[in-house]
Structure 1
Amino acid sequence: MTALIPLLARNRSWALKQSQSDPGYFEQTAQPQQPHTLWIGCSDSRVPAEVLTGAHPGELFVHRNIANMVLDADDNFQSVLQYALEYLKVSNIVLCGHYGCGGVQAAVALPDMPLAEQDNALSRRIHQLRSALHPHIDDFHTGTGEEPERQNQLVEANVLTQFSHLIATAPVQQAWENGVSLHVYGCVYDLHSGHLKELVQQSAVEAVS
């Protein structure tokens, strides 16, 4: 309970301030959700979607995992994607990575880590990430730039790789085939500046052209 006590105290303080500044706040947020965007991000504690976008409750439907990965065999991810598109009718999907991603760094270092010899969920996930980034990891090792710059390039390569997986998923393809106005974006977040940078986007029009 030691760690929970301050969290509960801050929760009560936050709820009180919200009620005082906007008496109808919780009545409004208790209504059925109608988010405009599905946010697919990294689980990193420094990259909270609502905070860095200034979004209010009800705007973002959020899925986060290690290194913002998109996997066909990940029922958790696939169910979130299907629910967002078919039931919540979101019109945007943002896939967001971030510089300094520990998952991407682990994919590079995996052969020298004890994790490489383990048989567990984390090991399988990092092996899958390393496999997806294999050609880019080769470029990382042979590149001539400074290591931080090469790490940033690898993070961006991961966003582009996961983006390509995302737009090929059945729910996204089905939405576009049905004429849904769905816009998909790939972004990267800079921990040092707090800025989001768009790397790629695709819409229904581009998908069927």
Structure 2
Amino acid sequence: MIVTTLKPLLAKNRSWALQRRQRNPDYFKKFLHQQKPHSLWIGCSDSRVPAEVLTGSHPGELFVHRNIANMVLEEDDNLLSVLQYALFFLGVTRIVLSGHYGCGGVEAALNLPGSGLEDQDSALARRIKRLRDDIQSGLATETSPEARLDRLVEANVRAQFARLVTSEPVRQIWQSGQPLEVFGCVYDLRSGHLKELISQSAQEPCL
């Protein structure tokens, strides 16, 4: 028996599928046997920032990984397996790492001292504590609360970007000479606009 609360989602799904078939009878057949996305999107799990919606993408265009505060951690097998699959099996040539203003994960990291998470040893608490370490240098910024959170969101994107471009899968692709562009972006909930903060298209030489 289908739970009642699922019915609205199923109804919207049927309506969406019908609209797509009416516009193009072969819409679903196109991606039935393969996928060839041009980009990997690494974003936040926040329900207000769905990658396909805010980029106007169609099925088959984006390979997506989302987690709290769009973090890139070397011990995160989930993210690393997505990254490896996207690069070596799907052949994506672009990675977009996107944070967003108003990020609840960054705000939780900012307010960690004295919060309920501070003394916990849970998956969420460990991630937020790691996130606080990543944005530590920006915590002392003297500005308005909203502007401060915005700067910390950007600091988090830059911290995760630095970890992403030195990850083993990305370094292997660049060392092989294959084209790959990596972008660090932030999405503005207030305007709906996505903006670029940082980018890299080749491995930087060791000093």
Alignment equivalent of 1:89, drawn from 84, 88, 91: 91
Structure 1 residue aligned with 2:204: 207
**1:163 correspondence with 2:165:** no
Matched residues in 2 for 1:14 and 1:172: separation? 36
Alignment equivalent of 2:195, drawn from 188, 191, 197: 197
**1:95-124 deviations in Å (ceiling 9; x for gaps):** 000000000000011112111111111011
**1:186 correspondence with 2:188:** no
- Structure 1 unaligned spans of 5+: none
Matched residues in 1 for 2:49 and 2:179: separation? 28
**1:71 correspondence with 2:73:** yes
- Structure 2 unaligned spans of 5+: none
TM-score normalised by length of structure 2: 0.96
Matched residues in 2 for 1:138 and 1:130: separation? 12
- Superposed CA RMSD in Å reads 1.1
1:77-116 matches, cutoff 5 A: 77-116=79-118
**CA shift for structure 1 position 208:** 4.7
Structure 1 residue aligned with 2:145: 147
**CA shift for structure 1 position 29:** 2.2
Matched residues in 2 for 1:37 and 1:208: separation? 25
Structure 1 residue aligned with 2:127: 125
**CA shift for structure 1 position 56:** 0.6
> Retained in 2: the 8 A contact 1:35–1:88?
yes
**CA shift for structure 1 position 133:** 1.3
Q: What is the SS of the residue equivalent to 2:35? A: coil
Range with greater deviation from structure 2 (94-103 or 22-31):
22-31
The structure with the greater share of residues assigned to helix is 1
> Retained in 2: the 8 A contact 1:186–1:200?
yes
Identity of aligned residues (%): 60
Runs of 4+ in 1 over 6 A off after TM superposition: none
> Retained in 2: the 8 A contact 1:176–1:208?
no
Q: How many residues align?
A: 204
Q: What is the SS of the residue equivalent to 2:183? A: strand
